[in-house]
C-alpha cells in the first residue's frame, strides 16, 4: 500500500529548532519511517493564476514531503476564517467564539477542493489516503467527487463537542455529511466518538450499527485511536538535554527553588488564565510557598490575526505582570512568562528539570505535552503531573493529579500537594503512567489506524501489501535541491 498522509501543517523537523504544532511534531517520526508521502501547506500562498496545484516535493526519511502553496484568495478565509474562527472554537466547546461568514465557508471548501486536486498526482491503484484534522473535514468528499475509490481515512486531533455546540457552526450538516465520504473516522477519546455518533443519529437520523454507519458514500467506520508518543526516545532525549546550556542556565538561576512548568500554544482552550489565577491563589493562601517555587510558563503565540487570540495575549500579559507585582520580591520572580517557541531538545530538558508539570486545558483533544512531561522525568526522582480532567490524556494518565481547570481553589490546593508529594508516591504514580505510555506509542497508533483503514475497502481475495517505499513514479529530489514539482 502507498500511504498519502495529509495535514495542513507539515514539518521537516529538526529537534534543535522550535517545533510548531503538536500534530506535525507527532507525525514526523512515524511518517518518516513509514515511507509515506506527507502532503500539506508550504505556509506560502500563490495567486489564482495557477492552473494546477503546485507542490514542492522533497525526500523525508523513507518517504517524501510535498508542500503546496495554497490559493492566496482563499487562504485567510480558510485558515484564520472558517477553520480557526468557526470550527476550532466549536470543537473546543466555545460556541460563544464561533464567527463565520459565507465567504469564509466558501474559501474553506475551495481549499479542500484545491487539496483534493493536488492529491490526484500521488494516487496509484493501491494508494490509501489518511487525512488529518479539522482543516479538511470535506477533503474526502472532494476526492470522491474526483473519482477516487481508494480507502480514505480521517483522524481528528481535537475534541468533538456536544451536538448543540457543533450545530452552532454554519453548514454543519453539509460538512458532517461530507465527512461520511471517509471510510474510517478516528477520534482521540470515547467521549468524542460518542458525541459524533450522537450527532449522526439525532441530527441526521442515521442508524449506527457496531460503530459503523451507511450513507450515500457507502460505509464509514467510526472508532477511537488515542495518539501516543515515543516515550523511550523522548526519555533519552531528556536525559541528554539536561546538560544543554539553556537548561543548565535555568537550573542555576533557580537558587534551589522548585520549578513548575507549563508549555502551551497561546490559545483560549489551554486554560492559561485560570492556571495563572491558581498560582496567584496558591501564593495568597499559602504565603510560605513564596520563594519556594517558580512557574515557567511558555505560551507560544499562535493565530495572531484572530481577535480572540490577540485579546488573550493582552489579558495574559496584564495578569502575569499583576501577579508578579503583588507576590514578587527584588530577588524572586514568581512567574517567568515567555512568548516564544523552543526546540524539542530544550523542552525535553526543561520538563526534566521541573518538579511539577501543569497541563490544565479547558478542553484538549489529547495534549501531548502531558505525555512528554511524564516521559522526560528522571525515574529515580520523577516530577508530578497536574492534569486537567478535560484533556484527552486524562483517560490514560489517570495517576496524574487530575484537576478541574475551572476550579481555581482546587487547582491551587492540588499544585501545593504536587510540590510536597513524597518520593514513593511520585514514583508509584509515574511508573503507572510510563507503563501506559510504553504500551500505547505513536508507532502503535499509526500502525493501528493504517491497519484499520486497510481493512475498510479490501476487495475480496485481494490482500493489501504493507506500507512500502514510495513508488518510483514520485519525482523525489533531495531536500537541499528545493525542487519544484508540477
Ligand atoms: O490540536 C490540533 C492541532 O492540529 C494541534 O495538533 C496543533 O498544535 C494545532 O492544532 C495546530 O495549530 P496551528 O497549525 O494553527 O498552529
Beta strands in 216-352 (DSSP E): 218-224, 258-265, 293-300, 335-338
Give the number of the atom of ligand 1 that is nearest the alpha carbon of residue 303.
15
| pLDDT given at position 415 | 98
Beta-carbon neighbour count of residue 209 at 10 Å? 8
Q: Quick one: cell of 310?
A: 490577540
Closest residue to atom 13 of ligand 1, CA basis:
21
- Sign of the CA dihedral with 361 first, then 364, 370, and 372 last: negative
Beta-carbon neighbour count of residue 311 at 10 Å? 11
Q: Please, which residues have CB within 8 angstroms of residue 11's CB and are 6 or more apart in sequence?
A: 19, 20, 21, 24, 25, 28
Q: Is 391 helix (H, G, I), strand (E, B) or coil?
A: strand
pTM value?
0.93
Q: Quick one: cell of 19?
A: 517545533
- What is the Å distance from ligand 1's center to 258 Cα? 30
Pocket of ligand 1 (CB under 6 A): 9, 20-23, 133, 157-158, 265, 302-303, 365
Mutate to test the pocket of ligand 1, among 5, 9, 81 (most ligand atoms within 8 A of CB): 9
The pairing of beta strand 212-215 with beta strand 258-265: unpaired
- Sign of the CA dihedral with 321 first, then 322, 328, and 330 last: positive
| pLDDT given at position 171 | 98
Closest residue to atom 4 of ligand 1, CA basis:
23
- What is the Å distance from ligand 1's center to 363 Cα? 13
* Of the candidates 233, 180, 179, 195, the residue with the CA atom closest to the CA atom of residue 26: 233
Report in angstroms the alpha-carbon separations of 374 from 230, 410, 419, 427, 434: 12, 22, 16, 11, 7
Catalytic residue, chosen from 135, 157, 217, 440, is 157
Q: Per residue in 225-258, is it b (16+ CB within 10 Å) or e — as a string?
A: bbbbbbbeebbebbbebbebeebeebeeeeeeeb
For residues 178 and 287, what is the distance between their CA atoms, to the nearest angstrom?
56
Distance between first and last Cα of the chain: 23
| pLDDT given at position 364 | 98
- What is the Å distance from ligand 1's center to 22 Cα? 6
Summarize pLDDT for 166-215 with one digit per residue, the tens.
999 999 999 999 999 999 999 999 999 999 999 999 999 999 999 999 99
Q: For the chain, which ranges sit under pLDDT 50?
A: 458-486
| pLDDT given at position 484 | 21
Amino acid at each position: 500500500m502507498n500511504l498519502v498522509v495529509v495535514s495542513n501543517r507539515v514539518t521537516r523537523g529538526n529537534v534543535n529548532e522550535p517545533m510548531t504544532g503538536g500534530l506535525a511534531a507527532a507525525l514526523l517520526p512515524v511518517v518518516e519511517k513509514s515511507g509515506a508521502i506527507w502532503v500539506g501547506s508550504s505556509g506560502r500562498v500563490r495567486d489564482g493564476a495557477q492552473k494546477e496545484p503546485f507542490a514542492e516535493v522533497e525526500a523525508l526519511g523513507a518517504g517524501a514531503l510535498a508542500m503546496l502553496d495554497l490559493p492566496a484568495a482563499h487562504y485567510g478565509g480558510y485558515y484564520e476564517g472558517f477553520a480557526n474562527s468557526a470550527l476550532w472554537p466549536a470543537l473546543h466547546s466555545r460556541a460563544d467564539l464561533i464567527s463565520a461568514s459565507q465567504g469564509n465557508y466558501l474559501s474553506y471548501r475551495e481549499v479542500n477542493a484545491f487539496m483534493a486536486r493536488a492529491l490526484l498526482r500521488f494516487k496509484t491503484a493501491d494508494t490509501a489516503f489518511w487525512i488529518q484534522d479539522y482543516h479538511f473535514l470535506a477533503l474526502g468528499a472532494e476526492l470522491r467527487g474526483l473519482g477516487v475509490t481508494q480507502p480514505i481515512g480521517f483522524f481528528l486531533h481535537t475534541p468533538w463537542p456536544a451536538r448543540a455546540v457543533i450545530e452552532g457552526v454554519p453548514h454543519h450538516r453539509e460538512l458532517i455529511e461530507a465527512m461520511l465520504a471517509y471510510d474510517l473516522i478516528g477520534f482521540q477519546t470515547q467521549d468524542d466518538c460518542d458525541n459524533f455518533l450522537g450527532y449522526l443519529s439525532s441530527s441526521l437520523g442515521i442508524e449506527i450499527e457496531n460503530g459503523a454507519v451507511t450513507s450515500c458514500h457507502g460505509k464509514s467506520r467510526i472508532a477511537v485511536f488515542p495518539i501516543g508518543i515515543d516515550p523511550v526516545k523522548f526519555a533519552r532525549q531528556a536525559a541528554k538535554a539536561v546538560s544543554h546550556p539553556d537548561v543548565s542556565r535555568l537550573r542555576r538561576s533557580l537558587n534551589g527553588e522548585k520549578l513548575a512548568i507549563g508549555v502551551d500554544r497561546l490559545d483560549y482552550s489551554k486554560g492559561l488564565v485560570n492556571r495563572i489565577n491558581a498560582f496567584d491563589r496558591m501564593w495568597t493562601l499559602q504565603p510560605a510557598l513564596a520563594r519556594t517555587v517558580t512557574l515557567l510558563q511558555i505560551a507560544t503565540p499562535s493565530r495572531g490575526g484572530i481577535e480572540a487570540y490577540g485579546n488573550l495575549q493582552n489579558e495574559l500579559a496584564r495578569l502575569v505582570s499583576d501577579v508578579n507585582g503583588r507576590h514578587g520580591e527584588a530577588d524572586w520572580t514568581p512567574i517567568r512568562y515567555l512568548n516564544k517557541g523552543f526546540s524539542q531538545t530544550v523542552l525535553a530538558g526543561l520538563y526534566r528539570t521541573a518538579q511539577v508539570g501543569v497541563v490544565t486545558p479547558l478542553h484538549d483533544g489529547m495534549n501531548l505535552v502531558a505525555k512528554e512531561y511524564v516521559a522526560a522525568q528522571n525515574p529515580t526522582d520523577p516530577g508530578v503531573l497536574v492534569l486537567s480532567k478535560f484533556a484527552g490524556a486524562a483517560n490514560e494518565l489517570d495517576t496524574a493529579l487530575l484537576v478541574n481547570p475551572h476550579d481555581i481553589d482546587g487547582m491551587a490546593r492540588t499544585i501545593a500537594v504536587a510540590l510536597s508529594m513524597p518520593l514513593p508516591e511520585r514514583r508509584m504514580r509515574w511508573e503507572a503512567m510510563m507503563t501506559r505510555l510504553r504500551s500505547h506509542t505513536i508507532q502503535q497508533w499509526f500502525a493501528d489506524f493504517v491497519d484499520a483503514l486497510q481493512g475498510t475497502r479490501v476487495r475480496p481475495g485481494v490482500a493489501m501489501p504493507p506500507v512500502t517505499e514510495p513508488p518510483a513514479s514520485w519525482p523525489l529530489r533531495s531536500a537541499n535541491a528545493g525542487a519544484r514539482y508540477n
